[in-house]
Chains A and B, each alone.
Chain A
Amino acid sequence: MPTPTDLLQGTLDLLILQTLALEPMHGWGIAQRIQQVSCAVLQVSQGSLYPALYRLEYKGWIKSEWGNSESNRRAKFYKLTAAGRKQLEAERASWDRLSTAIGLILGNTVEVPS
């Protein structure tokens, strides 16, 4: 079964940035949030979540710091940086453009009488 990242390269980055835009969160929380919000359609595998988080951090779009989780356990929290916010805007815009374009094409094919 294809994972979400297999479907569209870079989509995971967008989802993580969007999730972090609401509040700082740890890796587990991010995975859970994406799963919940997408009504369990999107499952983020741990094998791709952490490389993605590291990639984003290396690019300077998110920052990490250690804090305490809800269960009062030490956890690493990620938070969006200013650069990350700008990146999120850009990725959103390009995603909107892409999905509109795909929507148009799919819409057109529907109109063709079969």
Chain B
Amino acid sequence: MIVEFSTWLRYFLFRKSRKELDDEIQFHLEQLIAAKKTAGISEPEARRQALIEFGSVDAARERCEQQRPGWWAGIAAQDFRYVLRGTLHNPIYSIAVVVTLMLGIGSCSAVFTVVDKILFRPLPYGDTGRLVSVGLVAPIEPQEFMLGGSYYEWQDNQKPFVAMTSETGVEPCDLTELNAIRLDCANVENNFLPTLGVTPVVGRNFLPSEDRPNAPKVALISYALWRTRFNRDPTIAGKIIRIDGNATEIVGVLPQNFEMPRLQAADVLLPESLDVAAQRRADPGRPLWAFARLKAGVTPEQAKAQLEPLFEYSLRLAPAPFRKEVHYAVRPLRDRQFHDVHRVAWILLGLVMAVLLIACANVASLLTARGAGRQHETAVRIALGASRLRLLQVAILESLVLAATGVLAALLLAEGLLHVFVAIAPDGMPFLSAAKIDTRVLVFTLSIGLLFTFAFGLMNGLSRTPASVLTSHSRLGMRRARLRQVLVTAQIAASLVLLAGGALLTRSFWNLQRQNLGMNDENVVTATLSLGQTAYPTPERQMAFYEQLQHNLRWGPGVNALALSDSLPPGGYHHDQIFASLRIEGQPRYTSGTGGNVAWRWVTPEYFRTLNIPLIEGSGFTDNELASANRYVVISRSLAERMFPGQDSVGRQVHLASGAPADQDPPYTVVGVAGDVKNGGLAAGEEPEYYRLRRNRPEDWDRGAVVLVKSGLPAASEERWMREQVAALDPTLPIEQGTLQERIAKLADQPRFEMLLVGYFACIGLVLAIIGLYGVTSFLMVQRKPEVGIRMALGASKGDIVRMVLASAMRMVLPGTIAGLTLALGMSQTLSSVLFKVGAHDAATFCGSTMLLIAVTVVASLIPAIAATQVDPITTLRID
């Protein structure tokens, strides 16, 4: 073994001298001649016969050389040098291929990583495919919810589920011990964890007996809380902690990856402890959110059909105005979690597939063009004795070099893109920050690279190059040229679709940013506060805190106006009620349906001045109303027009909770009409709105408030000062700060994300189409070089040649543009739901995109056209 290996190594490193073999062959020949001479053949004849008998000395020499251990490596090294030289010699082709691969594979990998986290993320529950979200849907709450009055009826009588469970939401709670902290407490039914298929890592789940009103308090804590607060104490079960002042027994610890099905943050799980009997009687009952596990083999659609009778039951409970607008839904939990981002994810996946296809077509077209351009060279190599295998080897090596560079660049691009995606992604895209290029993506990228290598290597290596290339004009490749032209046409069509989509979204975003919000968001600093349950248990205490805070802030530096409200326009949370529950004193209720939603907020008098919302009628809230025992309201212009068409509204009395018992539906006096303010998010329509006054009465206050300051100072110093003032009153109080403009910008995150993504892909598509067009045009020019030479020799001017090349490029561009326009017009309809104040068939956008595309393609084909005019007719004619 050792002897054999050392021999192998010796000959691998050092080759035998060539003379040694020559001498040996010479000796052999002499012996052969001598033998023939002995047989009586004359010397010259013997030599002749011997040489014939021996055959080609060169072939023997070559075959001997092939036996050498290092022979293969030597050949490979030689090929590699050759390929590298060829690649560097023709940089435009090589760069075009590498860039195409980089853009195609890199974008694909980055987008796949992102989409994977959204569409294909494993949920931390058992057998997640069978988990569904169940409930009613209504315009006021488009995601499924349930009501206590119906839920238990559904739970008892449902057929399609193994189990059905509920949660009643997450609220802030305080761990009132040494080093008190604010936590998020989720309230869940006792069968919540078993239904989801989750088992506590320590301790046990709630018992049914613990999920009743006035049962002893128990809690399950999150893994993170267990780790940070309790140092992973394995004997934690049975320990008593105080939550909001109540002694609570910890019965278990949740798994590390546990999350609420609606993705709320939760540190503690508490039993929801609803009074089931009371809820069954209640109308409508407490809102809650229901989840269920399907029986094996039942689809969500079947489940929905089976729940029909129960829905009928709930419908009978619903107030008459709601009946027409309430529906019900059963859908996979994953769909509910990604309600908003599902569409984005699929759009992305579609875009990236389009780009990848364009990229593949490009590379194919570039490489075959290159192969065709080198036909002459290949034919020479064959004539000099290169074997098919050797040519194939070179072709594969060449695509391997390109693919390796391309894949490497692609991975770098993907990594960079991912950072960009994470940076610009809206808050609503969960888990994006956890997205990383993982092994699957790597394998995916590498396998595309390998696939590419072999597909195109083989394609080029196996294409037959007849020796006739050397002697005549060849029509070879014209058939494949047709295919390439079709590919380029398709690319142009696809990139026009992308371009038009990108332009539409950009215009839409532009409109979104420039719209009139109905208020002035400049120099407004906000701070959101939420008082703790323990420190501020009563409305009196809450009001006292906010009164003191207002007093301390009122005359502070730079404070031009100060207001407190409980929510802020133009988007995000605000109170909502149906129009039918409003009533003008002395008039009957509105009876045809719900009448749509009406938004409302609690505000202090200076709210309108702070946000610069004009008061169109009346004087609004003043200090008189602040101290009054009566109730006052300011309504928006659209609400005034609806309730008091053509009449004065100031001074009128309205009821805001009609349908409720009389003692809960006091009259409010309208003291003003305010201008309409955008309140349904940036893109959605405006709802009519009214404002209730937070008087100096505890009943008007609760734990939460947003402090608004119209500031004359830079935002940062105003914010710091406000933070100090809050901390002076209560250092433990969490505070969330930001300017109003920052809040509004955040609302635009999702459209911005969509615009940038589609825009990015439009650019990539355009770049790839240009590369493709350029590649094919230059390829055609190589093919037609002799023809150009003849034309010029016969007196064609440079202009004629450029015109000829441009015309042939336009034969690809124009059909592509027409096809692209048709496709784009057909497909832009799918974007219409995300477009803001721009039509899906906006003429300016489509014209602009088309012009841009045509302009760019003309430039892309001008370069090879001008190169073609540099051809010296004599040289091209002499080749043949």
Contacts and interface: CB of A to CB of B under 8 A. Distances in A.
A69 B35 CA distance: 14
Contacts of A73: 27, 30
Chain B: interface secondary structure? helix
Nearest to B27: A75
B529 interface: no
A92 interface: no
A54 interface: yes
Given A51-B60, A54-B67, A76-B20, A60 B27 contact: no
Contacts of A82: 3
A45 B28 contact: no
A72 to B, nearest CB: 12
Interface size bracket, B side: 20 to 34
Contacts of A95: none
Given A28-B31, A58-B67, A76-B27, A50 B21 contact: yes
Given A46-B55, A50-B21, A50-B60, A59 B27 contact: no
Interface in B19-34: 20-21, 23-25, 27-28, 30-32, 34
Contact of A50 (B4, B11, B24, B31): B24
B431 interface: no
A27 interface: yes
A58 B55 contact: no
Interface in A55-86: 55, 57-61, 69, 71, 73-76, 81-83
Contact of B4 (A60, A69, A71): A60
Interface residues of A, number: 25
A45 B66 CA distance: 17
B67 A46 contact: no
Contacts of A33: none
B73 to A, nearest CB: 14
B55 A47 contact: yes
Given A51-B63, A54-B67, A59 B23 contact: no
Interface in B37-83: 53-56, 59-60, 63-64, 66-69
B596 to A, nearest CB: 88
B7 interface: yes
B7 A59 contact: yes
B661 to A, nearest CB: 103
Given A28-B32, A60-B4, A54 B68 contact: yes
Contacts of B11: 58
Contacts, number: 71
Contacts of A60: 3-4, 6-8
Given A50-B60, A51-B64, A60-B7, A27 B24 contact: yes
A55 B28 contact: no
A83 B69 CA distance: 18
Given A51-B63, A51-B67, A58-B69, A76 B31 contact: no
A59 B8 contact: yes
Contacts of A74: 23, 27
Contact of A83 (B4, B53, B60, B68): B4
Contact of A26 (B7, B27, B54, B55): B27
Nearest to B6: A60
Contacts of A50: 21, 24-25, 60, 63-64
A82 B60 CA distance: 28
B33 to A, nearest CB: 11
Nearest to A26: B27
B302 to A, nearest CB: 65
A60 to B, nearest CB: 3
A71 B6 CA distance: 35
Contacts of B23: 74, 76
A45 B4 CA distance: 27
A76 B25 CA distance: 10
Interface in A84-100: none
Contact of B7 (A45, A54, A58): A58
Contacts of B59: 47
A76 B32 CA distance: 15
A69 B34 CA distance: 13
Contact of B28 (A27, A51, A61, A71): A27
A8 B622 CA distance: 111
Contacts of B56: 47
Nearest to A81: B3
B21 to A, nearest CB: 7
A83 B5 CA distance: 11
A55 B67 contact: yes
A79 B370 CA distance: 52
A76 B28 CA distance: 10
Contacts of B69: 58
A110 B20 CA distance: 51
Contacts of A55: 67
Most buried by B among A45, A59, A69: A59
Contacts of B68: 54, 58
A17 to B, nearest CB: 14
Nearest to B24: A76
B37 to A, nearest CB: 12
A48 B20 CA distance: 17
A66 B801 CA distance: 70
Contacts of A59: 4, 7-8
Contacts of A81: 3
Contacts of B20: 76
Most buried by B among A48, A60, A71: A60
Contacts of A47: 54-56, 59-60, 63
Contacts of B7: 57-60
B120 to A, nearest CB: 52
A99 B21 CA distance: 35
A79 to B, nearest CB: 14
Given A46-B54, A46-B55, A51-B67, A71 B3 contact: no
B8 A58 contact: yes
A58 B548 CA distance: 97
Contacts of B6: 60
A83 B6 CA distance: 12
Contacts of B30: 73
Nearest to A70: B31
Contacts of B67: 51, 54-55, 58
Contacts of B66: 51
Nearest to A63: B7
A26 B67 CA distance: 19
A63 B30 CA distance: 23
Given A59-B7, A76-B23, A54 B55 contact: no
A48 to B, nearest CB: 8
Nearest to A71: B34
Interface in A8-41: 26-28
B55 to A, nearest CB: 5
A69 B7 CA distance: 26
Contacts of A61: 4
Nearest to B35: A32
Nearest to A56: B67
A15 to B, nearest CB: 17
A46 B21 CA distance: 13
Contacts of A46: 25, 28, 53-55, 60
A62 to B, nearest CB: 10
A57 B55 CA distance: 23
A28 B32 CA distance: 8
Contacts of B28: 27-28, 46
A59 B69 CA distance: 9
Interface in B469-526: none
B56 to A, nearest CB: 8
13 contacts: A28-B28, A28-B31, A45-B55, A46-B28, A46-B55, A47-B60, A48-B63, A55-B67, A58-B67, A58-B68, A59-B7, A60-B8, A74-B23
Q: Rank and list the top 6 A-B pairs by shortest CB-CB distance, nearest first.
A: A60-B7, A51-B63, A28-B31, A55-B67, A54-B67, A60-B4
Given A69-B27, A73-B27, 9 more contacts: A46-B55, A46-B60, A47-B59, A51-B64, A54-B21, A58-B8, A59-B8, A60-B3, A83-B3
